[in-house]
């Protein structure tokens, strides 16, 4: 087996997008040195956490050749439900968290069944679920936010806290744990390679004995379960369930995953890439404000970064393909 050289690494998508992230950070730092201030980085870490957790699940789905548009609707709905359970039904917060985790897994199982057993396209199923769950969230919340009246509970303290002795937000560490486990599962396990095989060529995967429907179903369950986890920790952090929570969340997650180089048509992408995508997307918001640029540019720049990421992806793949041809010719 040929060893991986620095040239190979330089051609990898994660390396390229990582370079973009570093370049962006340096650029923003040169514009305003406060970009590297501890407070800025801590705020960035906090904001990244829920998006990063869900992006990990979405990466599995994308690699398996599927998509879940319902994550924002589910995220908002579950925040409403946990707030009602804790604040209006007096449930223990940890129990309420367990309940919404189960609910999230159940929703994922339902979506997965509709896609893999009934045969409906995931785009349609999850679009419908997104609308339905957004509506359910509005119905349950009555269009109003539910703020916690008992913010002294351990639950809120835990999710709003930092790792003892540091200024690193606990929710950021939770995200890193989720991302690390997801990364190992996707890159190093049999299940992960089955996910790549399913998304790369579903027929070939099936012919090789991979239970592709089971693989996709599991990815849907994982994604919705991670949405539930993100909703629980975000509710804990905010001690508030905004009535429109998760508004635009699905686009942030999908944009981050695409920026991170995960292929829209399956079979390609890494958890690390998605994490870097989340970082880039969130860095833009803080960086542009620090530059004193009017905030409306945020959307424009984010869009341009998505386009640039797609272009970069194409260049890296072409370079990789060209190198492969060269190697084959030389061999």
Q: Which residues contribute to the site for other proteins (CB under 8 A)?
A: 32, 34-35, 37, 39-40, 42-44, 46-47, 50, 84, 88, 134, 138, 140, 142-145, 147, 149, 160, 234, 238, 240, 242-245, 247-248, 282, 285-286, 289-290, 292, 294-296
Taking the alpha carbons of 230, 228, 237, 174 in that order, is the dihedral positive or negative?
Answer: negative
Among residues 64 and 77, whose Cβ is nearest to other proteins? 77
Q: What is the DSSP string of 19-31?
A: HHHHHHHHHHHHH
CA diameter of the chain = 71
Minimum distance from CB of 81 to other proteins (Å)?
A: 12
Given the complex with other proteins, which of 88 and 190 has the nearer CB atom? 88
Nearer to other proteins, 201 or 285 (CB): 285
d(CA 310, CA 304) in angstroms, rounded, equals 10
CB 270 to other proteins: min, Å: 25
Write the CA distances from 226 to 86, 178, 239, integer angstroms. 20, 9, 19
Q: What is the CA radius of gyration of the chain?
A: 20
Shortest Cβ 101–other proteins spacing (Å)? 20
Task: Give every CB contact of residue 325 below 8 A, 6+ residues apart in sequence.
Answer: none
CB of 146 to other proteins, least distance (A): 9
**How far apart (Å, rounded) are the C-alpha atoms in residues 90 and 286?**
37
Contacts of 311 (CB under 8 A, 6+ apart): none
Minimum Å gap between C-beta 75 and other proteins is 10
In the bound state with other proteins, the residue whose beta carbon lies nearer, of 295 and 328, is: 295
CB of 215 to other proteins, least distance (A): 32
| DSSP for residue 5 | P
* Min separation Cβ 220 and other proteins, Å: 24
CB 276 within 8 A of CB 324: no
DSSP 116-171: HTS---HHHHHHHHHHHHHHHHHHHHTT--EE-S-TTSHHHHHHH-B-TTS--BHH
Report the alpha-carbon distance of residue 301 to residue 285 in Å, rounded.
9
CA dist., res. 282 & res. 47, Å (int): 7
Q: Which is nearer to other proteins, 195 or 226 (CB)?
A: 226
Q: How far is the CB of 236 from other proteins (least distance, A)?
A: 12
Sign of the alpha-carbon torsion through 192, 197, 202, 203: negative
What is the rounded CA–CA span in Å between residue 275 and residue 45?
11
Shortest distance, CB of residue 258 to other proteins, whole angstroms? 19
């Amino acid at each position: 087996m040929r060893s991986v050289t620095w040239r190979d690494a330089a051609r990898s998508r994660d390396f390229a997008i990582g370079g973009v992230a570093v370049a962006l950070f340096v650029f923003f730092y040169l514009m305003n040195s406060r970009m590297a201030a501890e407070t800025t980085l801590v705020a960035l870490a906090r904001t990244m956490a829920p998006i990063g957790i869900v992006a990990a699940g979405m990466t599995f789905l994308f690699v398996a050749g599927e998509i879940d548009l319902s994550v924002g609707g589910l995220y908002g709905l579950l925040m409403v439900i946990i707030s009602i359970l804790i604040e209006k039904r007096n449930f223990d917060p940890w129990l309420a968290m367990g309940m919404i985790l189960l609910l999230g897994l159940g929703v994922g199982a339902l979506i997965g069944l509709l896609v893999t057993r009934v045969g409906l396209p995931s785009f349609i199923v999850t679009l419908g679920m997104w609308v339905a769950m957004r509506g359910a969230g509005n119905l349950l919340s009555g269009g109003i936010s539910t703020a916690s009246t008992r913010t002294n509970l351990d639950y809120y303290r835990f999710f709003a806290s930092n790792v003892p002795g540091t200024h690193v937000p606990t929710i950021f560490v939770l995200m890193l744990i989720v991302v690390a486990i997801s990364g190992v599962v996707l890159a190093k396990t049999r299940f992960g390679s089955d996910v790549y095989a399913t998304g790369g060529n579903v027929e070939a995967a099936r012919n090789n004995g991979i239970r592709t429907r089971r693989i996709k179903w599991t990815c849907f369950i994982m994604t919705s379960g991670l949405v539930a986890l993100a909703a629980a920790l975000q509710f804990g952090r905010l001690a508030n369930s905004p009535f429109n929570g998760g508004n635009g969340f699905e686009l942030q997650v999908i944009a981050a995953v695409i920026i991170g180089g995960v292929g829209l048509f399956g079979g390609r992408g890494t958890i690390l890439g998605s994490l870097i995508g989340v970082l880039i997307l969130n860095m833009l918001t803080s960086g542009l404000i620090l530059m004193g640029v009017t905030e409306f540019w945020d959307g424009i720049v984010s869009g341009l970064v998505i386009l640039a990421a797609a272009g970069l992806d194409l260049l890296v793949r072409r370079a990789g393909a060209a190198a492969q041809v060269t190697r084959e010719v030389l061999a």
